[in-house]
Chains A and B, each alone.
Chain A
């Protein structure tokens, strides 16, 4: 036997001893020891969950706010809200033909092409549908908007 193996065996035996000692304790004490151990592990799980939830929320919020800020440069707040609610409806029903509602909306004075551009940008970068591409004509026409999106540091 190598010294490392001997150390391992000693550790195992020590663990066994501790387990036996715990088993010999009265039930109430065993429960309180286990309760503390459980509480520690549950607390760690909860912490990890909270941290992951917060990071998800913050990432999502960063994307949404950057999109909002850039869009509001080219339309009013109410127009943006109408547009984003239409986008959400389209993504929920996965029917992007509903964008026609937006085109027909008389309260929105934004150019239809611009809305279509924002829609494809939203699908590609906010909803992360990487199979949606921007048209080359759109890319050329709205270079300045793409540059604005790039300035936020969130969208490539």
Chain B
């Protein structure tokens, strides 16, 4: 004869077994769906990453040219300021952020013209080398480059850098 206690224990064991089976099935189902979903959602990210790597390689060269030439012309501190805002603007795809760089050189016309020149060259190079939907209107950049470096007084630094860039076949 089986006692009521034994029956109760058996029921408990069976319930535990059932719960274990159910939990395993839920976990397994989650795992299966997760792996298939993960592959699907990660593939466009990885494709995008490949183009980002390509762009970063080109940007590394563009930034290096700017840094070296600016350091030579205007010193490390000023060059760092300009490069900071150029990088920030490129990262955020918004060159309105260069206005903070102009604000740093409120009364220095030479530097302001230099910033204008650098900003237009930077955008020109990015729109040429790196395909991005935010960059464009190459003729405007070319025109800006010309005007910013043509004045003998306020565009002197910009002119010097333009000469060196042309020597490096950069523009």
Instruction: Label chain B's interface by main secondary structure.
Output: helix
User: In the complex, which residues of chain A have a beta carbon less than 8 angstroms from the beta carbon of B72?
Assistant: 27
Q: How far is the CA of A41 from the CA of B71 in the complex (A)?
A: 19
A38 touches B38 (CB 8 A): no
Q: Is A66 an interface residue (CB 8 A)?
A: yes
Q: How far is the CA of A120 from the CA of B108 in the complex (A)?
A: 60
- Cβ-neighbour of A31 out of B38, B49, B68 (below 8 A): B68
Interface magnitude class on chain B: 20 to 34
B60 to chain A, nearest CB (A): 4
Interface residues of B in 1-46 (CB under 8 A from A): 22-23, 26-27, 29-30, 33-34, 37-38, 41-42, 45
A66 (CB) vs chain B CBs: closest residue: B30
> Can you list, as one digit per residue, whether each of A34-57 has a CB less than 8 Å from chain B (1) or not (0)?
111111001100100010011001
A69 touches B164 (CB 8 A): no
Q: Is A61 an interface residue (CB 8 A)?
A: yes
- Cβ-neighbour of B45 out of A54, A64, A152, A153 (below 8 A): A54
User: In the complex, which residues of chain B have a beta carbon less than 8 angstroms from the beta carbon of A152?
Assistant: 26-27, 30
Q: Is A79 an interface residue (CB 8 A)?
A: no
B65 touches A69 (CB 8 A): no
B64 touches A34 (CB 8 A): yes
- B residues within 8 Å of A by Cβ? 22-23, 26-27, 29-30, 33-34, 37-38, 41-42, 45, 49, 52-53, 56-57, 59-61, 63-65, 67-69, 71-72, 164, 168
| Complex A-B, nearest 9 residue pairs according to Cβ-Cβ distance, in ascending order | A34-B64, A38-B60, A39-B60, A35-B64, A42-B56, A151-B23, A65-B33, A69-B29, A30-B68
